[in-house]
Amino acid sequence: MPKLTEFSILRNCRKTLPTNSSPWTIAIAQGRLLLNTLLLLALTAGVGRAEEHTTGYPSMAPLDQYLMTDRNEEIALARSAAPESISRDAKIMVLTRHGYETAVEGKNGFVCAVERGWMAPFDNVEFWNPKIRGPICFNPAAARSILPLTIKRTELILSGLPKAEIVNKIRAAQEQKQLPALEPGAMSYMMSKRAYLTDRDGHNLCHLMIYTPLAQGAAWGADQPGSPVGFGGQFQGAPEPITVFLVAVSKWSDGTLAPQM
């Protein structure tokens, strides 16, 4: 795209006005065109930044970039998703080259792990971001009905299949009842101060996740002024038939204050 400046636009404006135009007409036309030009420059700059961001992770990086070399560090990061009163007796799973495996057996029915970027919607620009580390602790209902989706999707990702085929296989597994149905009361904790959820400013959000059958955000008042509930966007029928709502919380799992949403 040719480089645009206010000066080049004004020169073009002079050329397009009738030669007998009054100075006042010329001034008004130039002012309007300059305003539109400044808006255009801002928009094209934003598009450039967006294109740079969206092309940053076009495909899966080498597997080693998604793995954590220190198993104990991944265990500690997974535990940090929820308050210690919950995570200390939770089952802990870690990611290996072949998928998630149990690193620590639990006692309370909760399961904690560290998710990677591929648990985002399939069209998310950071789906393949190897920096993503999302510590999460599933309550017992979510451990039985949501965690299997994480395990299945990760297994398919590590097999090297393209996204479209992964979506088809997940949908087929659901139709054949190979994946459990959503259980009432399923929720998870994502309260780790050490999480890296996005390249965007802040990189993190201290929150809970609530899983429901497919729903619209308005049913929960999500994203309304003053509402603590946000529309998660994860799953939402693409392909998993689940809606995720986010509820921001004020303290990290270690009890320190978290930034407000």
Instruction: Give yes or no for residue 50 having a pLDDT over 90.
Output: no
Instruction: Give yes or no for residue 55 having a pLDDT over 50.
Output: yes
> What separation in angstroms does the CA of 149 have from each of 3, 45, 119, 182, 239?
48, 39, 9, 10, 11
More confident residue, 9 or 152: 152
Contact (CB, 8 A) for 171 and 241: no
> pLDDT tens across 178-187, in order?
999 999 999 9
Instruction: Give yes or no for residue 35 having a pLDDT over 50.
Output: no
Q: What is the pLDDT of residue 261?
A: 57
Q: What is the pLDDT of residue 30?
A: 41
SS3 content of the chain, % helix, strand, coil (to 5): 35, 20, 45
Q: What is the pLDDT of residue 184?
A: 97
Mean pLDDT of 89-102: 98
DSSP state of 121: -
CA separation for the pair 225, 215 (Å, rounded): 19
Instruction: Give yes or no for residue 14 having a pLDDT over 70.
Output: no
Q: What is the pLDDT of residue 52?
A: 42
Residue 233's pLDDT band (boundaries 50, 70, 90)?
confident
Q: Which helix (H) or strand (E) holds 148?
A: helix 147-158
Annotated domain spans of the chain: 6-54, 63-248
Mean pLDDT of 33-37: 36
